[in-house]
Amino acid sequence: DQQVKQNSPSLSVQEGRISILNCDYTNSMFDYFLWYKKYPAEGPTFLISISSIKDKNEDGRFTVFLNKSAKHLSLHIVPSQPGDSAVYFCAASKGGGSQGNLIFGKGTKLSVKP
């Protein structure tokens, strides 16, 4: 039973354009959501997070949107750069913060072409 789903295994985008990575969840108890970025042979790196009391959080080129009614969140990268090419994981937790058991999706591999 997968509680966090990333239905697109891969995404290819041209440099300078917008990348949109999607994530759906099934557990309505989740109240904190995070995105991680992972390069090969490295551990995941925290990118951006959002609490369920918000619907948008922005950090530079990265914006996360949360639609609680649809149990859906998305990560927007604008403009996309070749260095953004990596696997992106969506994660969710209960309890109001990032501490505790994070439930991860399977990841989406983003390729940004020059």
Name residues whose C-beta falls within 8 Å of residue 60's C-beta, 6 or more positions apart in sequence: none
Q: According to the binding rule CB under 8 A, does residue 41 interact with other proteins? A: yes
Largest CA distance in the chain: 41
Name residues whose C-beta falls within 8 Å of residue 81's C-beta, 6 or more positions apart in sequence: 15, 61, 112
Q: According to the binding rule CB under 8 A, does residue 110 interact with other proteins? A: no
Q: According to the binding rule CB under 8 A, does residue 1 interact with other proteins? A: no
CB 59, min distance to other proteins, A: 12
Residues contributing to the site for other proteins (CB under 8 A): 4, 34, 36, 41-46, 49, 89, 91, 95-102, 104-107
